[in-house]
Amino acid sequence: MKLRDFYERAVATGIKNDLRPPQEITRLLETEKEKYQKLSEEEKEEFDVDALFNPYADSRILTGDPELEVKHLLAGIDMEVGEVLLAHVLNKERPDKFDLILAHHPEGRALAQLYQVMELQVDLYIQAGVTPSLAEQLMEKRRAEVERRFLPLNHQRTVDVARLLQLPMICLHTVADNCVARYLTDLFEQKQPARLKDVLTILKEIPEYKKSSRQAVPPRLLHGSENSRAGKIYVDMTGGTEGPKDIFSQQVAAGVSTLVGMHFSEEALDKCRSARLNVIIAGHMASDTLGLNLLLDQIEREANEELKVTGISGFERIKHL
């Protein structure tokens, strides 16, 4: 399929797996269209026109011709200068060349815009029962922190190398994270684990977490005991990056008992302990790998076309079809 088709299918899949109601996604896109129509011609030159159909600012084509035919991907969680150079070397040595570098974590403009997707978390907190005004005010402060932290980064470093080596590159972040968030949320809803040990068992039955366990990074219980009741489970797997650290007491007030996430900072974990929340870390690389695999599964199924994918940088292609 063409790079443009691959990208658009990835966005459509991200929207399909978004835990928010479809009408909320429609509202966001309509807001962007209204904003764009009010801009001057000069302002439109700076506007990210992908936002007119893609509500996830951290998932973008970074470099390359959208009309390029894509058959073989080099895919990884963190695709930086080293991985791009390796792709270049392998393409010179092997007849089976990579058409596209697929990164999960954002680079370039997508990295600079990462803070924008954090608004997704607000909607999920509200769906879980947190008061809207509290969720919005706490997230406003956290989004500003993340925006400032990313401002001084060298966003284009890896993209520049890919461009000079004429290697097309794309990053698919929240669109993949939505897939793993939806998958685990539905799985826990279906299986209704009674105790935390049951949550861990469910996770360890999933191939990506099973493999990670063999590599000494299993799903871990960080707060609570294995025999603690799981209660209401909140899957914290999407929305760009870690949310506000003062949200946990509000989640408890809304009835949440257990958090299942990719990672939590020490400060966030301390806040979880103070709020008496059970905390399970599913694993960062394993969760990202699961999300990317589910995304690729759905793209291939929708297109009725199989892509060749070579995994690197923590990623292994595992099909769930």
DSSP line for 43-81: HHTTS-GGGGT---TT-EEEES-TT-B--EEEEESS--H
pLDDT tens by residue, 28-63: 999 999 999 999 999 999 999 999 999 999 999 999
pLDDT tens by residue, 56-69: 999 999 999 999 99
C-alpha span between 30 and 16 (Å, rounded): 17
pLDDT tens by residue, 227-275: 999 999 999 999 989 999 999 999 999 999 999 999 999 999 999 999 9
Position 237 scores a pLDDT of 96
Please check the confidence at residue 321 and state whether its pLDDT lies above 90: no
* Average pLDDT value for residue range 295-315: 96
Give yes or no for a contact between 76 and 312, defined as CB atoms under 8 angstroms apart: yes
Q: Which domains does the chain have, with CATH numbers?
A: 3-175+287-311 (no CATH), 180-283 (3.40.1390.30)
Position 133 scores a pLDDT of 96
φ, ψ for residue 243 (rounded to 5)? -80, -165
* Average pLDDT value for residue range 1-17: 98
SS3 content of the chain, % helix, strand, coil (to 5): 50, 15, 35
Give yes or no for a contact between 17 and 297, defined as CB atoms under 8 angstroms apart: no
Position 196 scores a pLDDT of 98
Sign of CA dihedral 28, 29, 31, 32: positive
Please check the confidence at residue 103 and state whether its pLDDT lies above 90: yes
Position 204 scores a pLDDT of 97
Confidence band for 107, pLDDT divided at 50, 70 and 90: very high
Query: Percentage of the chain surpassing pLDDT 90?
Result: 99
Nearest to 162 by CA among 109, 104, 100: 100
